[in-house]
Amino acid sequence: MTSALDRRTDHRVTFAVLCVGVASFSLLQSMVTPVLPTIQTSLDTDQTTVTWVLTAYLVSASVFTPIIGRIGDKVGKERMLVVALGALAAGSLLAAVAGSVGVMIVARVVQGIGGGVLPLTFGIIRDEFPREKVASAIGTSAALLAVGGGVGLVIAGPLVEALSYHWLFWIPLIMTTGAALAAAIWVPESPERAPGRINLGAALLLSGWLVALLVAVSQGHHWGWTSGRVVGLFVAAAVLLPTWVVVEARSGQPLVDMRMMRIPTVWTVNLVALLFGFGMYSTFAFLPQFLQTPESAGYGFGVTVSESGLLLLPQTVASFAGGVAAGRLAARYGSRALLVVGAALTALGTFGLTFFHDQIWMVVVESSVCGLAFGLAFAAMSNLVVDAVPQSQTGVASGMNTNIRTVGGAIGTAVVATVVTGTLAPSGIPVEDGYTRGFLVLAVVATAAAVVAAFVPVVRARTHVVPGPQAEAERARASNAR
């Protein structure tokens, strides 16, 4: 019989399981977006209500990602990985059979619990993999988030046309069910545990300000930015966020250690993550719309949903190539250099989209440059954060970084939507200048990300300790690990 120690020696099986889980989660982030009109018609609802199919998933994933990551740090990453994958599977099953928009929204909330897959994946890789394999494994798995987002856009149209929108959920159901069973059998239990209990009060405050902020940002365009509901939610977020920070800072058992969040590498990479999320999710949302705009509008190419997805396939391939190459490049040049290059390439691609979008080949080349940038940058961000924090805080640190990217994406999508639709033609289609200004906003944000990335401090892997009472314990733990 194979011993637990023997099972730990082969990390390749573990990595395959983790990749399936991350890919499933990332697919569910993007596949629904292009087919919202189809879901709206099939479930007999209106445009405002159907947007909650996206908003519910966004908010749920944002709330649960750091919480599931932290629980994994405390009770075991393997068992929480099974829980997260199980939630993705259960939510996918419910969404696939949903007969009303209400059931669909509930299903998407359940799917959002699976957001913990990414931080748990990084934690398991750090715990289980040979040191020389960690950077490349984290890079590849991080890039899968961008790759899955691109693949979702590519396959959504053809899948719905050939079968039905229900298969947008049946396929992830099959993938996540298999991954959950494989994780329970083959992924070894984590040897690392963070001491103490889960701070429920802090979890509620974290959930409160995230829900208030993301609902306001996501629905502001529909409800009106000056409406009472939106202003009230922004006020609630402004009150709950600092309250949460104070509670966490004073807690002996914080959900998210504020000392960890103040580590220079962590907060600067998180700022870059916010800016990158702003750009990447906005690109995923608005490039297909730009390509699908009828040529009669004076711009755009009048392609179908399926054709626009295929035109963005090179972007997805470039993202994956960047993520796979990131490990070796980081080993040679450092993750910070990779992050700067990724941000600079994003700026180059979005500036290109701003000024040169008259031919399809231009858009394909520029979006592919952005795709390569996303793959490099996501891998670099993940490695920088993982290397900067104690091993017992890998899950929550990675979860917060992922979360901040999601918050940036929500803000970016809302801002760019407001800019793009600021002026509409008589047909109701945005004028070309709206997209030009929107792409310019993304280029400026990417440039800011490159500047911040250049100042990210670099920490040697596994040598960092959080200052404070637990410093000696963390130093001893790091010494034992070495």
DSSP per position, 93-159: HHHHH--SHHHHHHHHHHHHGGGGHHHHHHHHHHHHS-HHHHHHHHHHHHHHHHHHHHHHHHHHHHH
- For residue 291, give the amino acid letter: L
Predicted TM-score of the model (pTM):
0.78
Which residue ranges does the chain devote to CATH 1.20.1250.20? 4-198+255-481
Q: Which of 138, 189, 180, 132 is nearest to 7 (CA)?
A: 189
Partners of 249 in the β-ladder: none
Render 364-392 in DSSP notation, one character per residue.
HHHHHHHHHHHHHHHHHHHHHHHHHS-GG
Amino acid identity, position 50: V
Query: If you average pLDDT over residues 388-397, what whole number do you get?
Result: 76
pLDDT band with cut points at 50, 70 and 90 for residue 240: very high
- Options 1.20.1250.20, 3.40.50.10490, 3.40.50.300, 3.40.640.10; CATH for 4-198+255-481 is 1.20.1250.20
In this predicted structure, the answer to whether residue 362 has a pLDDT above a threshold of 60 is yes
Conformational region of residue 359, where left means phi above 0, alpha means psi within -120 to 50, and beta covers everything else: beta
Q: What is the pLDDT of residue 234?
A: 94
The more confidently predicted of residues 2 and 79 is 79
Three-state helix/strand/coil letters over 40-60: HHHCCCCHHHHCHHHHHHHHH
Please tell me the distance from the alpha carbon of residue 31 to that of residue 305, in angstroms, as a whole number.
12
Q: What are phi and psi of 97, to 5 degrees?
A: -105, 5
pLDDT score of 408: 86
Q: In whole angstroms, what separates CA 179 from the centre of its chain?
A: 19
CA-nearest of 140, 129, 204, 194 to 389 is: 194
Higher pLDDT pick, 470 / 178? 178
When pLDDT is cut at 50, 70 and 90, the band that residue 218 belongs to is: confident
Tell how far CA 441 is from the center of its chain: 20
Q: At 10, is the pLDDT very low, low, confident or very high (cuts 50, 70, 90)?
A: low
Neighbours of 21 (CB within 10 A): 30
pLDDT at position 367 is 92
Cα 382 to Cα 206: distance, rounded to the nearest angstrom: 22
Q: Which residues share a beta bridge with 424?
A: 430
Give the residue-averaged pLDDT of 201-206: 87
What does DSSP assign to residue 251?
A: -
CA distance 193 to 74: 5
Least confident of 38-42, 299-303, 464-468: 464-468
Q: What is the pLDDT of residues 257-306, one digit of tens each?
A: 788 888 899 999 999 999 988 888 888 778 888 888 888 888 889 888 77
Confidence of residue 192 (pLDDT cuts 50, 70, 90): low
**Cα-flanking dihedrals φ and ψ of residue 424, to 5°?**
-110, 145
CB 264 within 8 A of CB 459: no
Structure tokens at 140: 């590849």
Query: How many Å is the maximal CA-CA distance in the chain?
Result: 73
Cα torsion for 267, 269, 270, 276, to the nearest 10°?
150
Q: What is the pLDDT of residue 354?
A: 94
pLDDT band at 409, cuts 50/70/90?
confident
pLDDT given for residue 481 in this prediction? 39
Mean pLDDT across the chain: 82
In 3D space, the residue among 436, 399, 400 whose CA is nearest the CA of residue 420 turns out to be 436
pLDDT at 443 over 90: yes
Lowest mean pLDDT among 294-303, 414-423, 458-467: 458-467
Check residue 236 and give its pLDDT. 95
Q: Is 3 helix (H, G, I), strand (E, B) or coil?
A: coil
